[in-house]
Each structure stands twice: as C-alpha cells, then as structure tokens.
C-alpha cells in the first residue's frame, strides 16, 4: 500500500467511554460500569432481547422478531444503526449493519389488502419475492389465483395461517386488510368512581390506547403488572364501541375484569357475561377463560376414530365480535393460536407485561395477534410514581450435607423439586416475616408439598389450583381488607390477581428458569401503595444446586427492566440479609 498508515484498518477506532461491543453474530455486549449504561440499555430495549446479565457485562441479541417489532412501532432501521454507531466502543461490523437493515426492511414488503367479494390480496413490493413465495410448498397452498406479477388472491379463512407460515420462513406480513365491524355497544369511561374519586386514564395509558387506535387494529401493548393493562383494554373498547370478547387466565381474572368494567365504564351488569367452567353467558361483552376454550371433548364422547376436538372454540363465532382482547397474551395456550388464526377479520388487542414465551412462539404472537404497539419501561413508571419502587433480593440458602446427598443422588428430573424442598428455607421465611411484621405478604411457590408443609408449620392459609373459586374469592377479599396479612399461594399467583396492598413477596420455588414467571410474581407487589411504601421481592435459592442456574436466567427480565438484583449468600447462622 505504498507505505500508507495501516493502523486504522487493523486497529479500528475505539471510544473507551462507550458501553457497547457490537458483534457480527448479532450479539451486543453492554458494559455495566460505563457512564452511558442507562442510555444504552434504554436504546437496546427497543430492538434487542436480553440474553444474560452477569455482574459486569450484559449480553443482548438482535433477532428478526425484535427488529420487526421495532419496525412495526415506527423505529426505522437507520435509527437502530445510528444508535449502535453512537454507543459502540468499536465501529460495528459493516456486514452486521447491512444484514440488520435487510431484516428490518422485510416488514412491509408483503402486505395483505382488502380485495373484492370478501377475498384479500397478498401484494409484494418485490416481484422477485412473489416468485419465491409462490414456489414455497408451505405457502402456495394458501395462495389463490395470481392477480398480477406481484399479487395473489387469498381467501379470507387463510388470512391467519398464511401470515403464520410466512413469518416462519422469515417474511412478516403487514396486515392492512382491515376488519369487519360488529354490532354497536355504546359505552364510555367514567369521570368519577363509585367512591366519588375522579377518574381518568394516565398519560401513558392514553398513549397506549392511541397506539392501538392508530395501528392496523391488531397488536400488543406492554405494561408492567400494576400499570393498568385492564384500563388500556377498557380505553380501546370505549373508543371502538363494539361487541367485545375478552380472554383471560382464570375465573378470578374474569371477575376482576367485570368489576373494573362496572366501576369505570358506563356498562351495566346485563351487558357483561362470564364464560367459564361455572357459567356460560354470551353477552355484548363476554369474558372467558383460556382454560374453558382449551377443554377438549374426550374421545369417549365421540364416534370411534373421531379426533379429539375443542368444545368451546365456537365462542369465537357466536357473535361478530368487533374486538378480541387477549389478556396476559404471553400465556396464550399454544392450542389457542389455532383459534387466533381463525379470527383475523376481528380487531385484536394483546395485553402483557412481557412478550417472553418459554415455548419460543413469539413469532406466532406477532403474526396472529399483532406486533408490539406500545411498551412502557417499568422503571420509568416507577420514577413517575405509577408503580411501587421495588427492592429485589436473592438469598442463597445453605443446604445441609444430608440434603445435598439426597440432591446429588436424585435424577436430573427430580433435582429441582429436591432443591426447592430445602428445609432451611423455612427459617428464612420466618426471619423475613419478622423483618416485615404486619405488612401484606405473599409467599409464592411451585411445589405444593413444600407449600402445604410451610402452611401447616406457620399456620398461614394457602391457596392452590385445587381450591374452589369460592375459597379463592374469600381469601383474596380477606387479604384485600387486611384481615389476612400473610397468604401462601401456588402458581395461581402467576396470573392476573388484583391484590393492590401486597407489599412483600417471598418466592420459595419457581418454574425452572422462567423469566415470564419472574415478571408476573414481581408484579404482585408493584401496584402503588397509598402510603407510598416500598415493595420487596425476595427469592430463596438453595445454594450449590440447579436453583442457582435457574435464578440467573429468571433475573434477566428484571435486569432488562432496570432493577438491581441484590445477592445475599447466607451462612449457617446468618438469618437476615442486609436491607
């Protein structure tokens, strides 16, 4: 090179104060100690997923779904590239930036549009892509006659399956085909609660409602537990004013929705129906559980050789719903994606605290419910006082030699339950209850044997999935009124339960490394308290067991939301973590 200076070519420019190292495999390393750490984390949350978060370096991954969600929310690929360049310690690999723009740019190339006679048209902005997809064996069965070089006729029933198939081969569809209207349902939000207090949506809730209204009629709103997802759903219903089907996680959640609708909207009881194992009411607003929709008619009830079928899927077609609300959409059972695919002509709203799915079906949520439309960072709402500030503490509890021997000789399948049953955790529960006396406290776990033993030892009431709805309602109401200060709950607490005064949560066991579950359980204590008190979320982990590995994975979601996770390694005699 005739003596030219090769230093910039061999050793690229470095900005030591920047926190990111962007790698060609679409992973991004974030340096925790950097002065720009918070800025970088906020930017990454818009278009990347957190993978792991040890003490000093956090790892993110940029995925097609994360880029398409960003694109659907209006974040252009150029803005993502600019953010990476601005925050990177070294210049990002040119090949990565090129691929990033190509992947993000795929959203919008394929569009579904309204055609004639109830049919749709799939239009490709690239004629060459039209040639590619028409030859794909999984796609071609959903395509009708060719309309021109770039467009195909699509029959309405194939709208969902086509979108689901195309996203699985890397081509998200922008669904601009519109929606069918349903019978009108005049309703409005109240300006005053029955207690006499004034009521209106908060700014971020109004922004979420506007994002849904301005979108294409299908999409997901992300708000933390306690952030008022139900209110966003009601705001969207009030804007649309059409018959609505609401799907949620439990009978308790059904009745919570009904209570909120009666208190905060002009709807009357005769307009709201419950569709569950206990009631089968179909009204202008019908609230159903996922569980009832996934019940199957047993093969013994059918003719020989008849396939098992879902008995209540017909609810989706009972009325021409103007809106279907998928509450806690991250928990949408896999079987219900079949039903979601069949209702693409209806407006769809997903509500959730996290789009993390342990089954990896985020792409199906994107295709069949819709892209992420609005996301309010947890810590932003905390700083504004809309959710309670929380202290998250992991306590690593020692395991006796005898229990470690039992753990070591157990099968891999049995080891999580053995680690969860560590009797030393009970002493820690007692110590934490003593530290927070007379404070509304939930003790949450997965393994019923340990929960029942703890309930018996401490004389604390317990609720699990086997409890009758009457017992659940009575104990939850007793907790709300302050008559029951401490309540032991199983995994039923992972779903929508309105316990606004819960201040302390003690997690004694979990569902492996589920980040989804961690988000839900923290959410049980995040509703703002009238006296402004702080929330505490403790996780008891058996030291030197698989629970430590699970805990690291579970914490990733909290770290992504900006929570500092304190770690306390307990000794045999130490029974109190530092505050």
Pair 32, 55: CB distance under 8 Å: yes
For residue 191, what are the CA distances in angstroms to 264, 267, 324, 358? 8, 13, 25, 40
The proportion of the chain whose per-residue pLDDT surpasses 90, expressed as a percent, equals 50
Q: Do 209 and 236 form a contact (C-beta atoms < 8 A)?
A: yes
| pLDDT score of 357 more than 70 | yes
Residue 196 CB coordination number (10 Å) = 6
| Contact criterion met (CB below 8 Å) for 441 and 504 | yes
Count of beta carbons in the 10 Å neighbourhood of residue 258? 18
pLDDT tens figures, 375-396: 887 778 888 888 888 888 989 9
Which strands form 110-114's sheet, in the order they lie side by side?
Answer: 146-148, 151-154, 120-124, 110-114, 173-176
**Are 314 and 329 in the same domain?**
yes
Strands 110-114 and 486-489: unpaired
Neighbouring-strand partners of residue 59 = 29, 52
Using the 3D structure, point to which of 350, 376, 402 is the last residue of a domain.
Answer: 376
Nearest to 107 by CA among 139, 56, 66: 66
pLDDT of residue 53: 67
Average pLDDT over every residue of 426-449: 91
Per-residue DSSP letter, 9: H
> Where are the alpha helices (H) located in 410-563, listed in sequence order?
415-420, 424-435, 448-458, 469-481, 515-523, 546-560
Based on the fold, state whether residues 372 and 456 are members of the same structural domain.
no
Same structural domain for residues 413 and 510? yes
CATH of the domain at 541: 3.40.50.300
Question: Model confidence over 138-157: pLDDT tens digits?
Answer: 999 999 999 999 999 999 99
pLDDT(85) > 80: yes
256-266 confidence digits (pLDDT tens): 999 999 999 99
Residue 221 lies in a domain: yes
Are the CB atoms for 542 and 442 separated by under 8 Å? no
Tell me which of 319, 352, 376 is where a domain ends.
376
CA distances from 437 to 429, 486, 499, 502, 504 (A): 12, 10, 18, 13, 10
pLDDT at 13: 67
Q: Is the pLDDT confidence value at 463 over 80?
A: yes
Give the span between the Cα atoms of 276 and 333, in whole angstroms. Answer: 16
d(CA 445, CA 487): 11
Q: How far apart are CA 125 and CA 386, in angstroms?
A: 43
Mean pLDDT computed over 230-253: 93
pLDDT of residue 7: 47
pLDDT confidence bin for 536, thresholds 50/70/90: very high
Does residue 315 form part of some domain? yes
DSSP 231: H
Determine how β-strand 441-444 pairs with β-strand 504-507: parallel
Query: Does 191 reside within a domain?
Result: no
3-class state of residue 219 by DSSP: strand
228 plus 352 within the same structural domain = yes
Domain count of the chain? 4
Same domain, residue pair 264 and 124: no
Is 43 inside a domain boundary? yes
Q: Does residue 6 fall inside a structural domain? A: no
Final residue before a domain boundary, out of 42, 73, 104: 104
Q: Residue 538: which H helix or E strand, with range?
A: strand 535-542
Tell me the two tokens of residue 241: 């004013």
Please give the average per-residue pLDDT across 94-109, as a whole number.
96
Query: What gap in Å lies between CA 65 and CA 213, rounded to an integer?
Result: 22
Whether 82 and 125 map to the same domain: the answer is no
pTM score, whole prediction: 0.80
Q: 390 and 481: one domain?
A: yes
Asked, for residue 268, whether it belongs to a domain, the answer is yes
- The answer to whether residue 402 is domain-embedded is yes
User: How many Å apart are CA 252 and CA 256, to the nearest integer?
Assistant: 6
Do 476 and 352 fall into the same domain?
Answer: no
- What is the three-class DSSP state of 367? helix
Q: Are residues 405 and 548 in the same domain?
A: yes
Asked whether residue 477 falls in the same domain as residue 514, the answer is yes
Residue 80 lies in a domain: yes
Which residues share a beta bridge with 153? 121
Q: Do 331 and 397 share a domain, yes or no?
A: no
φ/ψ of residue 286, rounded to 5: -115, 130
Residue 546: is its pLDDT beyond 50?
A: yes
- What is the Cα–Cα distance from 326 to 328, expressed in whole angstroms? 6
The reply to whether 427 and 498 lie within a common domain is yes
CATH of the domain at 141: 3.30.780
Domain region containing 127 = 110-176
The pLDDT tens digits of the residues spanning 6-22 come to 544 444 567 888 999 99
Cα–Cα distance list, 538 to 113, 424, 532 (Å):
50, 15, 19
């Amino acid at each position: 090179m005739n003596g030219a200076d090769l230093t910039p070519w061999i050793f690229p420019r470095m900005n030591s104060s920047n926190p990111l190292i962007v790698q060609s495999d679409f992973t991004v390393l974030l340096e925790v100690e950097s002065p720009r750490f918070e800025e970088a984390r906020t930017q990454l949350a818009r278009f990347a997923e957190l993978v792991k978060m040890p003490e000093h370096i956090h790892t993110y991954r940029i995925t097609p779904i994360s880029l398409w969600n960003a694109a659907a929310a209006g974040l252009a690929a150029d803005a993502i590239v600019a953010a990476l360049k601005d925050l990177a310690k070294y210049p990002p690999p040119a090949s990565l930036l090129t691929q990033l723009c190509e992947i993000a740019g795929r959203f919008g190339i394929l569009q579904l549009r309204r055609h004639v006679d109830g049919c749709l048209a799939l239009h490709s902005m690239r004629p060459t892509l039209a040639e590619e997809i028409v030859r794909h064996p999984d796609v071609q069965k959903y395509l009708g006659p060719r309309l021109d070089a770039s467009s195909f006729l699509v029959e309405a029933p194939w709208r969902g399956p086509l979108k689901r198939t195309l996203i699985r081969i890397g081509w998200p569809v922008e669904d601009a085909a519109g929606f069918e209207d349903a019978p009108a349902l005049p309703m409005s939000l109240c300006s005053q609660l029955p207690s006499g207090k004034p009521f209106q949506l908060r700014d971020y809730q109004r922004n979420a409602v506007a994002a849904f209204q301005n979108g294409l009629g299908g999409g997901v709103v992300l708000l933390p537990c306690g952030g008022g997802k139900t209110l966003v759903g009601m705001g969207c219903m009030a804007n649309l004013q059409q018959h609505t089907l609401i799907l949620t996680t439990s009978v308790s959640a059904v009745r919570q929705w009904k209570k909120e609708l009666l208190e905060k909207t002009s709807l009357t009881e005769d307009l709201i129906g419950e569709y569950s194992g206990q009631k089968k009411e179909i009204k202008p607003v019908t609230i159903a559980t996922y569980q009832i929709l996934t019940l199957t008619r047993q093969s013994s009830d059918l003719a020989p050789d008849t396939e098992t079928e879902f008995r209540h899927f017909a609810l989706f077609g009972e009325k021409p719903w103007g809106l279907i609300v998928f509450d806690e959409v991250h928990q949408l059972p896999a079987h219900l994606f079949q039903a979601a695919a069949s209702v693409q002509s209806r407006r769809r709203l997903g509500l959730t605290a996290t789009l993390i799915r342990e089954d990896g079906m985020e792409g199906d949520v994107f295709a069949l419910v819709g892209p992420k439309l609005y996301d309010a960072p947890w810590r932003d709402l905390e700083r504004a006082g809309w959710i309670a500030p929380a202290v998250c503490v992991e306590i690593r509890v020692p395991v006796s030699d005898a229990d470690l021997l039992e753990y070591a000789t157990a099968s891999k399948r049995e080891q999580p339950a053995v680690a969860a049953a560590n009797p030393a955790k009970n002493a820690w529960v007692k110590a934490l209850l003593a530290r927070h006396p007379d404070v509304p406290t939930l003790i949450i776990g997965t393994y019923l044997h340990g929960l029942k033993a703890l309930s018996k030892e401490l004389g604390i009431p317990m609720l699990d999935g086997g409890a009758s709805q009457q017992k659940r309602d009575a104990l939850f109401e007793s907790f709300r009124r302050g008559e029951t200060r401490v309540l032991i709950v199983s995994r039923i607490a992972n779903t929508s339960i309105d316990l606004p005064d819960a201040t302390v949560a003690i997690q004694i066991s979990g569902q492996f490394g589920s980040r989804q579950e961690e988000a839900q359980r923290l959410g049980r204590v995040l509703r703002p308290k009238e006296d402004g008190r702080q929330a505490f979320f403790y996780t008891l982990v058996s030291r030197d067991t698989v629970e430590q590995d699970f805990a690291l994975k579970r914490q990733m979601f909290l770290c992504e939301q900006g929570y500092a996770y304190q770690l306390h390694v307990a000794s045999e005699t130490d029974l109190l973590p530092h505050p």
